[in-house]
Structure 1
Amino acid sequence: MQNRLLRMEREAIDRDATPKPAVFGTIVAGAPDEAYVPVFDAARFACGVWQCTEGVVAMKDWPYDEFCILLSGRVVITPQGGTAQEYAQGDAFVIPKGFTGTWDIKQTIRKYYAVQKHPSALGRLKSMVRGLLPV
């Protein structure tokens, strides 16, 4: 593991990312494009900068616990069977693992994200086996 600090830059999207059709869920309306720049990506944790243009995307069974801070834009997030909540620049929120609902992106959003990855049962088994093997 490296012993250094990593800077998360909101401008990294403009320099280092190529937008592509959104794949974080099923597009329901519009033609949202997303782009991201990972800053750190390890087995159980990842973070970076992400952006998505206007549109509506339905998410099903989100695989991570994710913390977000909106750097710009506006989005209305509605959990399945729940109440819509609007977020804008400066707002922070958590998307829990298993989240199902919609993201209605009203103005292009850019956010810092941090996700806790949850390895599959197979992934956990592989980690346990690796831990038992001599180095």
Structure 2
Amino acid sequence: MSNLTFFKFDDLGTAREGGPLPERVLAGAAKFKNWDVDRSNDEKVRAGVWETTPGTYRSIKGGTWEFCYILSGLSEVTEDGKEPVRVRAGDSFVMRPEFTGIWHCIETTRKIWVVYNK
């Protein structure tokens, strides 16, 4: 087994489909697709690709640390008590543990994610 993993965007396999928890939906009917690309043996670190269709919902990270790199689309992320920040292709950011806020997808958005769970 190699210690190098590539994101093969033209062959991610079958996505897990879902959406925000019903109690977190604020507007619209966002649908998620998630492709797991790699994970550590203890599953504390995972990486993959995520996509959401337009909609608005609460984002609650709990104990998860997440690095995001936006591949396409347009969304607005608003941390509770802060101003909204628009994110689009080429933007990257970290959502630290205990982040709470709103994810508002304006145009279908796809991102690479890497998470660390305590």
Please state which band the TM-score falls in when normalised by the shorter chain. Answer: 0.7 to 0.9
Matched, 1:36 2:43: no
User: Deviations for 1:62-119, whole angstroms, at most 9, x for unmatched residues?
Assistant: 331111110000111111111111100111111111001000100011000001111x
* Aligned residue identity for 2:65: D
Shift of 1:59: 1.8
Counterpart residue number, 2:116: 116
Q: CA RMSD in A?
A: 1.8
- Alpha carbons of structure 1 residues 61 and 50: separation in structure 2 relative to 1, 3 Å: closer
- Please report the TM-score for the alignment, with normalisation by the length of structure 2: 0.87
Identity of aligned residues (%): 27
Counterpart residue number, 1:73: 73
Larger radius of gyration: 1
Work out the CA distance in 2 between the residues paired with 1:111 and 1:94: 12
* Aligned residue identity for 2:32: E
Q: Give the total of aligned pairs.
A: 115
| Structure 1: runs of 5 or more not aligned | 119-135
- Alpha carbons of structure 1 residues 20 and 73: separation in structure 2 relative to 1, 3 Å: same
1:61-100 superposed matches below 5 A: 61-100=61-100
* Aligned residue identity for 1:27: V
Work out the CA distance in 2 between the residues paired with 1:12 and 1:101: 32
Work out the CA distance in 2 between the residues paired with 1:60 and 1:16: 26
Q: Is the 8 A contact 2:48 2:113 kept in 1?
A: yes
Work out the CA distance in 1 between the residues paired with 2:82 and 2:38: 32
Work out the CA distance in 2 between the residues paired with 1:61 and 1:52: 17
Matched, 1:55 2:55: yes
Greater strand proportion = 2
* Aligned residue identity for 2:117: K
